[in-house]
Amino acid sequence: MTNSLNKPTPTFWVIGVAALFWNIMGVAAYIGQAYMTDEILSALPEADQLYYTNVPAWVTAAFAIAVFAGFVGCIALLIRKKWAVTLFIISLLTVLVQFVYNFFIQDYMELSPSKAIMPIVVIGIAVFLIWYSKKCQEKGWI
């Protein structure tokens, strides 16, 4: 139970809502990839087509767990539940599993610096959400 004397600051709500929107975009990206039609797939460059048609189930599962754990973690943060921290940790771990495949295992797409930017941003935000939710827990906001 949260202590009603420890009310979060407006910054807490701004960060929580921004993180929720970020994770909604992640869920949308997962759904877009998981339900990609043959028509959309055929419009992609050949390397991307090979990548998407050969993604192992465990990588897709890691992607799903990462985005949904982050999404539910943001909701937990906003409703001030301590288990938000656990969900953010699960999200980061599964993001790392997914990116191990993308960076070190798959050989369909060359990883250029421009393709490495988004994974670095995703990992950075996941780490930030763990750190921030732990700080919120220390302050008694969650």
pLDDT tens digits, one per residue of 7-57:
999 999 999 999 999 999 999 999 999 999 999 999 998 888 888 888 999
pTM: 0.89
Write down the domain spans for the chain. 10-138
CA–CA separation, 107 vs 55, rounded Å? 11
pLDDT (tens digit, 9 = 90+) per residue, 56-92? 999 999 999 999 999 999 999 999 999 999 999 999 9
Asked if the model's pLDDT at residue 3 lies above 80, the reply is: no
What is the pLDDT, as a whole number, of residue 61? Answer: 97
Predicted pLDDT at 113: 74
Could you tell me the pLDDT band of residue 4, with boundaries at 50, 70 and 90? Answer: low
pLDDT of res. 30: 97
Q: Is the pLDDT of residue 106 over 90?
A: no
